Structure formats: C-alpha cells, structure tokens
Amino acid sequence: LRVLAIEGTAWAASAAVFETTDPTERTDDERVDIFTDAYAPDSGGIHPREAAEHMHEAIPKVVAQARETAETWAAEHDEQTQNPVDAVAFSRGPGLGPCLRIVATAARATAQRFDVPLVGVNHMVAHLEIGRHRSGFESPVCLNASGANAHILGFRNGRYRVLGETMDTGVGNAIDKFTRHLGWSHPGGPKVEQRAKEGDFLDLPYVVKGMDFSFSGIMSAAKQAVDDDEPVEDVCFALQEHIFAMLTEVSERALSLTGSGQLVLGGGVAQNARLRGMLESMCAQRGAEFYAPEPRFLRDNAGMIAVLGAKMYDAGDTLPIAESQIDSNFRPDQVPVTWREREAW
Ligand code: ATP
C-alpha cells in the first residue's frame, strides 16, 4: 500500500510518500519520505496571504518530488509507474483557509490524475496518530503542543475526546508572540529554548483551570518583565518552566482520569527538550510509558498525513471529490475514528 499526502495548514508546504505492507501498525519494511518547503516570514509572524502565496509556489514542487519517489518505489516492486499510489491524502484542517484551499485543490487534481481515492485528514488527529503508530501504544493519552493549538486528547467510544485545551492562544503562538516583542525572527520557540539554558527562575502567571489552561496572561507578563529590564535569559527560562509545567500537570491529570498508562506527544513545540524531559519524568514517576516521535514527524509534515491517510484508506474512509471541502476550524473530536476498534477507556 502506497499513499501520497499533501500538508499545508500554515507554514510547511509538504508532500510525502508512505509505503507499507500493513497500515494498521508500524512494520519493519515501511518507509516514509517527506519533502518540505518552509515559509519563513521576513518579519513578524505568519501572514495568511504570504503563506498562501508560498503554498501556491511550493506545493507543486514538493508534490512533484513525492510523485517521483512514488514512481521509483513502484518500479522497485516491478509495479507499473503510471499510477504509483493507492490513495492521495490531504490536510483538510484546521489551519489557514487560503493555504488549505491550495492544498485541497492540489490533492483533488493528483487523485484524479492517478484515478485513486481521496482521503481527508484532520491535521491534529494526524499529530496524535503518528505518535501512536510509531510507538505501537494501544490507547495513549496525547498532548498536542503545536503552534496554533494546545490540547490533550483521549480516545473513548469511537472518537478522540478533547480532555483539556487552551482557552486562548496556541502554545507555540504564545512563545512566538513573546519573541516578536523582542524583535526576534519567526519561529521563536527554538531561540527561547537556547536562551533559557543560561537563565534563572522568576515568577510568572500560572493558569490551569481544571483541565484547561491559558497562555495569554503569561505571555503579557513575560513581555512586561523584559520591558522592566529582567534578563532575557531569565524570562525565557521562566516562560518555559511555567508553560511546560502547566502542560505536564494537565497531562498527568488526564492519565489519572482515563487510567491510561501511556502518553504520546505531538506538535512542533514537542521538539523542545525541556518539555520532553518534564513529561518523561512525570511519566516515570507514575510508572507510565512516554513516547515522542522524531522531529521530522513533530513539526508540520506530510508524513503524518500519509500515515493516517493510509489507515483511513484501509478502513474505507475515503472522500468523494464533491464533498472534499476544507474546514479551517476542524476539531479533532469531530472525526469519527474509523480505523480503530471502538472501545472505552
Ligand atoms: P498547528 O500544527 O497547530 O497547525 P503550526 O502549524 O503553527 O501549528 P507546528 O509545526 O506544529 O506548527 O509548530 C510550530 C511551532 O513550534 C512554532 O510556534 C515554533 O515556535 C514552535 N517550536 C519549534 N521548535 C521549538 C522548540 N525547540 N521549542 C519550543 N517551540 C518550538
């Protein structure tokens, strides 16, 4: 089974090919190649129109690279190379509308050209499923720590339920807004991680309400602390400690409430070693297993769309072209999970 996938919800114009003998689980012979062309704003954050212009330029190029790979792999198996894939998957949402529309158009055209089914993938569920697929965990709780989102998901009765989520901005976006205030270039997360290594603790707001959390107060307080001449290294350190402790607290409560002994991490902020370290020691203390995929599957990438696309295709979960409209507010709990046994916690 071979699936070509296209991703382009915000900054990453990405295409991938996933080949496997069994899409339901990780196999030794599976392979994933990912081609990504990243949009990097000259100044400020991600501008939706500029991001869409980038998608317009870059998506055809990365799709062509993925198609060539699919043809090469088909030839290696002595298969015909005219239609080298079984399905075309794409990110249907959530994300920036102008970007998603370009991705969807490219996916429809590619599926029609190869005369294969189209699979519409929820980007946030893909962030989760790549961790479940790579770890082999049965029913983990998942912390999605990405740019535009932050939520904790658990599976129950055929759907991923949102157990807790940000009440305002996404976790990466909060960090990026702080660094924009300092005049640092996008993305800010890796720069904060670097500077935090030299910093000491200072107090910032810590906001967890039940299973939900908020980042806007801490972001404003961090900006103010820098304006008040606190050392930037200390503010970076404190920002990470507070934000990641909030995410770790809620993840632990989710493990406790669901009774799950497995946690997977997803999203671009999960590239941060301090966040992974905190979650790892929390899991170790309660005897739970922890898994974070390798970085190429954490930041936005079409590999995770291809892997989930293959599972959905295998389950018969395909999309008629006429019903393949995008959904920029597509929530993970809207997705009927067709590729897993329907089970309770
Ligand atoms: P979403 O997946 O919700 O649509 P997104 O498209 O913005 O979000 P991701 O690729 O998941 O993107 O994540 C990008 C975010 O990850 C940016 O906000 C960036 O600052 C952050 N990030 C990247 N590396 C690190 C790091 N080492 N530490 C903290 N944050 C990081």
Write down the pLDDT at residue 23.
Answer: 96
Q: What angle, 0 to 180 degrees and rounded to 10, lies between the N-to-C axes of helices 302-314 and 123-135?
A: 80
So what's the pLDDT on residue 338? Answer: 95
Contact 169 CB / ligand 1 (< 6 Å): no
For the 136-294 domain, the top CATH level (class) is alpha beta
| pLDDT above 60 for 68 | yes
Write the residue with the smallest CA distance to atom 18 of ligand 1.
172
Task: Please choose, from the candidates 66, 110, 93, 88, the residue with its C-alpha nearest in 3D space to the C-alpha of residue 9.
Answer: 93
Q: Cα(226)–Cα(234) distance, rounded to whole angstroms?
A: 9
40 CA to centre of ligand 1 in angstroms: 13
The ipTM, to two decimals, is 0.97
**In the prediction, which pLDDT does 41 show?**
86
* Spatial distance between the Cα atoms of 150 and 36, rounded to a whole number of angstroms: 23
For 121-150, the pLDDT digits (tens) are: 999 999 999 999 999 999 999 999 999 999
Checking if the pLDDT of 344 tops 60, the result is: no
Give the whole-angstrom CA distance, residue 326 versus residue 270. 26
State yes or no: pLDDT of 340 exceeds 70: yes
Give residue limits of the domains in the chain: 2-127+297-334, 136-294
Assigned token pair, 185: 């270039």
Residue type for position 32: V
- Shortest CA distance to 222 belongs to which of 168, 177, 173? 177
Calpha distance 174→188 (Å, rounded):
9
Do domains 2-127+297-334 and 136-294 share one topology? The answer is yes
> If you average pLDDT over residues 294-320, what whole number do you get?
97
Task: Give the Å distance between the CA of 28 and the centre of ligand 1.
Answer: 29
Contact 207, 159 (CB under 8 A): no
CB of residue 146 inside a 6 A radius of ligand 1: yes
Mean pLDDT score, 316-330: 97
Kindly report, residue by residue over 10-26, the tens digit of the pLDDT: 999 999 999 999 999 99
When the pLDDT of each residue in the chain is averaged and rounded to a whole number, the result is 96
The mean pLDDT of 98-119, rounded to a whole number, is 97
Superfamily of segment(s) 2-127+297-334: ATPase, nucleotide binding domain (3.30.420.40)
